[in-house]
Structure 1
């Protein structure tokens, strides 16, 4: 969709260029969501792609840094490493966004996080792996925070006017964890109704991340693999379920309990359930 009220596009090459951000001037990354609806209040854009941040940076000690401008296509092609047991989760979460190759080639990891739709799969990925986000605050400060604290509600985040999400960091320790992924939607190509990821760390800690069915990500942590009843009880206690065209709140809660049980079974015995990623 044309943004016919926009009269200026500023190519950002230095952090000072972000000072142009304001009530009618917003960041432009891939634009797949920005150009999806009329934005008559906008008069300008600041293009973040011209920073030319490296999409993916891997170091043996620190793990993986994902630039906010990294596209889903780039992330989906992330090469595997022998010590990255969690590597399949990157592609799995990318496939939760059902878009054409055109969308995958422009939609960015940072844009998906900052849009903060409950079904945002990059939110699922970042929270499930306990990623650390780097935010450039408008006053010049750098702020690092857990991904679990970034999204505050349906399409709301901790970002204030003029702030920019710079990068997402996943530690080498989390990349070495075992993961199990489940997604469900009302139709094969529909927006996610619930997306859950289980993570089993090398010290035995079990973390279940519940997204898409809740207005913000929910993490359930256990010191060791819990019983199915314990997980079910914790899911029943979640009060952030919501209803929209992509699923009713009670349905989202019910299917999340089923998916959580499958995740627990897979991480306990190592065998994923058949067709677990293609339900309707």
Structure 2
């Protein structure tokens, strides 16, 4: 879609004061999907030269905001980590064409903060941390679960930039389980639940996305029983935090979340045994 209110596209490598009507341009799959009448200038990140994904010496994985879904998928295929298959599962949760895969970015998916954003699901489940850069050069780090605060809401100040998301090495060594539901064969996720079992201490993390307005990550020192798991989800998600749109009613999303969480608990508890 043409953005007929945009009068300038600026290279992000060239410093310039942030002003009203500015927006960061990554892949542009959201920006160009619908009218953006409030925008006047796009700050293009495509030529920043940031490596899409970096494996650091300590084993952590840093994913640039400009990393496309296709680049992340290719990286994961060569990643020798227990949790590597989860990356591909979340990439496939886009159910998008090859054109979207090669343009849509990890950073764009997080910054849109849509409940069904599968990069939110992935990075929240693997205890990801966002690196944010402000216009004055200050840096701050925020957990993914704290970065996305609601449907379409994120902890991002005016002009602030999501630079990257880092996944810790310990999370990558975990065994994972994945469940997803949609009302349609090729539809948007209505519920997506991921379990992560830590082999070092036996702890279990259950992350709920798509069915809720924000990512919810529950950590248990040991796998809980079914009643304790259900109670924990019920306490963590308020009644008005179950998402409601054309892709699923709150009651259905809640039901599928409880069902998937129990299936994952049993699967990973069996793996631990």
TM-score normalised by the chain length of structure 1: 0.92
Q: Could you say what secondary structure the match of 2:95 adopts?
A: coil
| 1:132-191 CA distance string (max 9 Å, x none) | 110001232110111110011110101111000000101111111111111100001111
Which residue matches 2:248? 247
CA distance in structure 1 between the partners assigned to 2:23 and 2:139 by the alignment: 19
Checking the alignment, whether the CA contact within 8 Å between 1:124 and 1:211 is kept in structure 2 is yes
Which residue matches 1:218? 216
Q: Does 1:141 align with 2:138?
A: yes
Deviation at 1:204, TM superposition (A): 1.0
| 1:55-87 CA distance string (max 9 Å, x none) | 0111231411100000001111113344x1110
Which residue matches 2:261? 260
TM-score normalised by the chain length of structure 2: 0.94
Q: Does 1:127 align with 2:124?
A: yes
Moved over 4 A (4+): none
Q: Does 1:228 align with 2:229?
A: no
Structure 2: where are the runs of 5+ without partners? none
Which residue matches 1:2? 2
Deviation at 1:268, TM superposition (A): 1.8
CA distance in structure 2 between the partners assigned to 1:29 and 1:225 by the alignment: 39
Q: Could you say what secondary structure the match of 1:49 adopts?
A: coil
Q: Does 1:103 align with 2:100?
A: yes
Q: Calculate the aligned-residue CA RMSD, in Å.
A: 1.4
Which residue matches 1:175? 172
| 1:201-233 CA distance string (max 9 Å, x none) | 121111100001111011111110111221122
CA distance in structure 2 between the partners assigned to 1:143 and 1:41 by the alignment: 27
Checking the alignment, whether the CA contact within 8 Å between 1:22 and 1:161 is kept in structure 2 is no
Matched residues, number = 267
Which residue matches 1:277? none
CA distance in structure 1 between the partners assigned to 2:98 and 2:19 by the alignment: 32
